């Protein structure tokens, strides 16, 4: 009896491009869906762009277009990116849709009727210039604890303090730079705690992986608090029923977007949405990253419980992607967009590589370029593609592309391949793709050894019949391996199906044997990957660089550093240089190069550790004006916190020459 399975991946935020980190999840989910389809189950894969909220409103403003236009453009890009990586959604919709509006209002009203919605006054930050309420991350100012400048409105990246935005020293709107005002507003809240018991039962029943459940325990122990689900206008989102200037917070309507996508699909395809989504006979699964566990493990099921919808059977949580062991980084060129990747490399390489690393654990997976190139060349090309490549053309030359029958040896090879079918099925079902890939790899080794032992290139001359049975066995092995790999490598599978002249492979085909069958022309299945292509992709991903712009070669003069690559006025604008007066200067005990300077920059005083002790006597500096790199991220040094850098030239040691403005400049003045 086929299962009916509805699956979702998290909705990507419509504020930027899809990158290779996103793709971990969509590839993981897509493999799962394709596997189930191959087992004959009825599957539906729904997703959408997450389109609401302040960041999108601001991005649209910056682009000078309406938010609707902005998200339409992103939707087009996202859809193309996913298609390029063979992510096979049944519907890739948007949260800015009539279906989502209707469902959001329905769920809100039902929660309200259930008594789970309350109102509380909330202090909020408002920018009168931009005429909008500011989320904490759009307010910046000086940390009230350590004095670090330019910190977010809720926490300090330098000392780690968390605080309220109202406590920030010299707060300013990060968009226009003016000080915001503080005001009070009534917000709607969802009483999450009403559902604590039901949520606990859900997790006890195995809603998530165990490590996720442990994390949830922590949250339960800390106590569930009311969730703020409204935002004051202007806001890009859905208006709350009965309100003029209040909107649903983006995270309220985002998960409802899963349902809206399903509903839109049902309406277009003559299916009953309520039956598909809500029938207990149907299975529902969400795939998400560990960063949004709170929303999907607590808020979302509680919302569904409170509004009379069933909750998912299971929430599958995965970890993040690191590249070469480190966080993805724009400056290192490892923040790679899906579209950039696809311009340089075959998307199936990445699908295979991710599959070879994915397990059901909530662990980060690492994309190591060296490992990536190795796996593609030795596995995809050396094992799988090669198996077809060393048998197909020979069958064509010697036997007119017609398969014979199997002998005992060949049947044994096939038996070894089909024996692990259940193991592979369990691996896919349980998200242990890494195990699946390892198992398949071992089978391919077995098949390659089989070719080696039977030497069809020799028997072709002495015993053609034997050569034919060998090649028949090998190509049957290719067929079985392709079935196993098809969820991961759909395009590869398609090529093999064409080459073998067979119908699209299903899991049940594992037990069939292809004999006395005419096959098609062999076509190369994979190309080897050159490490230079990876390098080129990384270079193109480095921020601020355009692929074609070769930096002019700077002339080399002995003793003088070459001029660095060109940058723009915008790059320079990030650097805030100020005139500063040296208030005090003293040698740092225990350090022979450092001077501890206290600088007056007009609005504040800064501590700076400067490595100029060998060139300047401390007392000679007091009272002088210097140039300060004022917005350099503060750095905790062995001898204290340094909050900036003073500018100087010279090779170092005793030859250091501090820069100074001409007479008349005052502390705090901007240098540009």
Residue whose CB is less far from RNA, 38 or 298: 298
Do 27 and 355 meet the contact criterion of CB atoms below 8 Å apart?
yes
CA atoms within 13 A on the CB side of 447: 33
Q: Mapped to the 3 state alphabet, what secondary structure does 496-524 carry?
A: HHHHHCCCCCCHHHHHCCCCCCECCCCCC
DSSP label of 10: P
Residue whose CB is less far from RNA, 135 or 611: 135
Handedness of CA 343, 348, 351, 352 (dihedral sign): negative
Residue 214 found at the interface with RNA (CB under 7 A) = yes
- Strands 283-289, 314-318: parallel, antiparallel or unpaired by DSSP? parallel
Do 140 and 151 meet the contact criterion of CB atoms below 8 Å apart?
yes
Q: Which of 206, 393, 430, 544 binds RNA (CB under 7 A)?
A: 393
Compose the 271-290 pattern: x for residues touching RNA by CB under 7 A, - for all others. -------------------x
How far is Cα 323 from Cα 289, in angstroms, rounded to an integer?
Answer: 17
How far is Cα 639 from Cα 44, in angstroms, rounded to an integer?
Answer: 60
DSSP string, 162-181: B--GGGSEEEEETTT-PPPE
Site for RNA in 149-168 (CB under 7 A): 154-155, 160, 162
Residue 105 found at the interface with RNA (CB under 7 A) = no
Using CB under 7 A, which of the segments 36-44, 62-70, 197-205, 224-232 binds RNA? Answer: 224-232
Q: Which residues contact 346 (CB under 8 A, 6 or more apart)?
A: 526, 527, 529
DSSP label of 24: H
Using CB under 7 A, which of the segments 66-74, 86-94, 247-255, 590-598 binds RNA? Answer: 247-255
We find the least distance from the C-beta atom of residue 18 to RNA, in angstroms, to be 15
Q: Where are the beta strands (DSSP E) in 330-421?
A: 365-367
We find the least distance from the C-beta atom of residue 492 to RNA, in angstroms, to be 9
Site for RNA in 366-385 (CB under 7 A): 366, 368, 370-371, 374-375, 377-379, 381-383, 385
585 backbone dihedrals φ, ψ, rounded to 5°: -145, 130
Beginning with the edge strand found earlier in the chain, give each strand of the sheet holding 321-323 in spatial order: 326-327, 321-323, 365-367
Residue 123 tokens read as: 């202090």
Residue whose CB is less far from RNA, 233 or 374: 374
Q: Which of 179, 441, 602, 668 binds RNA (CB under 7 A)?
A: 441
Total interface residues for RNA by CB under 7 A: 75
Q: Where are the beta strands (DSSP E) in 348-446?
A: 365-367
Residue 360 found at the interface with RNA (CB under 7 A) = no
Compose the 442-481 pattern: x for residues touching RNA by CB under 7 A, - for all others. ---x--xx-xx---xx------------------------
Residue 394 found at the interface with RNA (CB under 7 A) = yes
Do 470 and 410 meet the contact criterion of CB atoms below 8 Å apart?
yes
Residue whose CB is less far from RNA, 20 or 276: 20
We find the least distance from the C-beta atom of residue 112 to RNA, in angstroms, to be 18
We find the least distance from the C-beta atom of residue 87 to RNA, in angstroms, to be 22
Q: Which residues contact 484 (CB under 8 A, 6 or more apart)?
A: 424, 436, 439, 440, 443, 510
Residue whose CB is less far from RNA, 455 or 501: 455
Residue whose CB is less far from RNA, 297 or 588: 297
We find the least distance from the C-beta atom of residue 84 to RNA, in angstroms, to be 21
Residue whose CB is less far from RNA, 42 or 327: 327
Site for RNA in 521-580 (CB under 7 A): 524-528
Q: Which residues contact 53 (CB under 8 A, 6 or more apart)?
A: 13, 235, 236, 237, 249, 250
Residue whose CB is less far from RNA, 162 or 546: 162
We find the least distance from the C-beta atom of residue 297 to RNA, in angstroms, to be 11
Site for RNA in 295-334 (CB under 7 A): 295, 325, 327
We find the least distance from the C-beta atom of residue 227 to RNA, in angstroms, to be 5
Site for RNA in 593-632 (CB under 7 A): none
We find the least distance from the C-beta atom of residue 623 to RNA, in angstroms, to be 40
We find the least distance from the C-beta atom of residue 439 to RNA, in angstroms, to be 10
Residue whose CB is less far from RNA, 251 or 277: 251
Residue whose CB is less far from RNA, 17 or 55: 55
Please state at what angle helix 408-419 crosses helix 464-485, rounded to 10 degrees: 10
Q: Which of 150, 228, 360, 576 binds RNA (CB under 7 A)?
A: 228
We find the least distance from the C-beta atom of residue 648 to RNA, in angstroms, to be 31
Do 103 and 260 meet the contact criterion of CB atoms below 8 Å apart?
yes
Q: Which residues contact 102 (CB under 8 A, 6 or more apart)?
A: none
- Tell which residue, 640, 636, 644, 637, has the closest CA to residue 671: 644
Q: Which of 9, 13, 117, 141 binds RNA (CB under 7 A)?
A: 13
Residue 365 found at the interface with RNA (CB under 7 A) = yes
Site for RNA in 127-146 (CB under 7 A): 135-137
**Backbone angle region of 352, left / alpha / beta, with phi > 0 → left and psi within -120 to 50 → alpha:** alpha
How far is Cα 213 from Cα 203, in angstroms, rounded to an integer?
Answer: 6
We find the least distance from the C-beta atom of residue 355 to RNA, in angstroms, to be 12
Using CB under 7 A, which of the segments 47-55, 104-112, 143-151, 572-580 binds RNA? Answer: 47-55
Site for RNA in 338-357 (CB under 7 A): 357
**Backbone angle region of 423, left / alpha / beta, with phi > 0 → left and psi within -120 to 50 → alpha:** alpha
Residue 309 tokens read as: 């919808």
């Amino acid at each position: 009896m086929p299962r009916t399975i509805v699956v979702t991946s998290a909705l990507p935020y419509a504020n930027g491009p899809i990158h290779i980190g996103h793709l971990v999840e969509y590839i993981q989910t897509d493999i799962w869906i394709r596997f189930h389809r191959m087992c004959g189950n009825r599957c539906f894969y729904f997703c959408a762009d997450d389109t609401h909220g302040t960041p999108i409103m601001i991005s649209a403003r910056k682009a000078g277009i309406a938010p609707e236009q902005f998200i339409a453009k992103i939707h087009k890009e996202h859809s193309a990116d996913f298609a390029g990586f063979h992510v096979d959604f049944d519907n890739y919709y948007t949260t800015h849709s009539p279906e989502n509006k209707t469902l959001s209002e329905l769920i809100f009203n039902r929660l309200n009727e259930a008594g789970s919605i309350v109102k509380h006054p909330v202090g909020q930050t408002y920018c009168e210039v931009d005429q909008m309420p500011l989320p904490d991350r759009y307010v910046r100012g000086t940390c009230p604890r350590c004095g670090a400048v330019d910190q977010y409105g809720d926490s300090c990246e330098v000392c780690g303090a968390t605080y309220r935005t109202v406590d920030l020293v010299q707060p300013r709107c990060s968009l226009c730079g003016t000080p915001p005002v503080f005001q009070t507003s009534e917000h709607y809240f969802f009483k999450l705690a009403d559902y604590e018991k039901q949520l606990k039962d859900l997790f006890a029943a195995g809603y998530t992986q165990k490590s996720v459940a442990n994390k949830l325990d922590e949250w339960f122990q800390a106590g569930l608090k009311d969730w703020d689900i409204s935002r004051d206008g202007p806001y890009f989102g859905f208006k709350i029923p009965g309100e003029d200037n209040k909107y649903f917070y983006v995270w309220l309507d985002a998960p409802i977007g899963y349902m809206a996508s399903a509903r839109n699909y049902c309406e277009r395809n003559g299916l009953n949405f309520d039956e598909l989504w809500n029938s207990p006979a149907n299975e529902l699964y969400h795939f998400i990253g560990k960063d949004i566990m709170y929303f999907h493990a607590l808020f979302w099921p509680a919302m569904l419980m409170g509004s009379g919808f069933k909750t998912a059977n299971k929430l599958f949580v995965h970890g993040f992607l690191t590249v070469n062991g480190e966080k993805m980084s724009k400056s290192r060129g490892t923040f790679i967009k899906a579209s950039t990747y696809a311009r340089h490399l075959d998307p199936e390489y990445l699908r295979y590589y991710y599959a070879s690393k994915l397990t059901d654990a909530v662990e980060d997976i690492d994309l190591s370029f060296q490992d990536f190139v190795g796996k593609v060349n030795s596995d995809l090309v050396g094992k799988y593609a090669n198996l077809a490549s060393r048998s197909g053309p020979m069958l064509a030359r010697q036997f007119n592309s017609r398969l014979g029958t199997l002998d005992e040896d060949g049947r044994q090879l096939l038996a070894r391949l089909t024996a692990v079918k259940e193991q592979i099925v369990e691996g896919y079902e349980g998200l242990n793709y890494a195990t699946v890939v390892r198992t398949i790899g071992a089978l391919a080794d077995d098949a390659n050894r089989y070719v080696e032992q039977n030497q069809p290139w020799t028997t072709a001359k002495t015993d053609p019949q034997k050569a034919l049975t060998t090649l028949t066995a090998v190509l049957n092995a290719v067929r079985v391996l392709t079935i196993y790999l098809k969820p991961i490598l759909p395009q590869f599978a398609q090529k093999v199906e064409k080459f073998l002249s067979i119908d699209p492979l299903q899991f049940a085909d594992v037990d069939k044997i292809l004999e006395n069958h005419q096959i098609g022309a062999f076509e190369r299945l994979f190309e080897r990957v050159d490490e230079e292509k990876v390098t080129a992709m990384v270079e193109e991903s480095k921020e601020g660089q355009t692929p074609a712009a070769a930096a002019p070669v700077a002339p080399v003069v002995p003793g003088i550093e070459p001029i660095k690559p060109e940058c723009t006025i915008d790059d320079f604008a990030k650097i805030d240089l100020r005139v500063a007066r040296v208030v005090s200067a003293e040698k740092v005990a225990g350090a022979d190069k450092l001077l501890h300077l206290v600088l007056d920059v007009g609005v504040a005083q800064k501590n700076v550790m400067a490595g100029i002790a060998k060139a300047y006597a401390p007392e000679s500096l007091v009272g002088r004006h210097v140039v300060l790199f004022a917005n350099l991220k503060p750095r905790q040094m062995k001898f204290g916190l340094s909050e900036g850098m003073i500018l100087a030239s010279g090779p170092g040691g005793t030859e250091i020459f501090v820069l100074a403005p001409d007479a008349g400049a005052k502390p705090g003045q901007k240098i540009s």
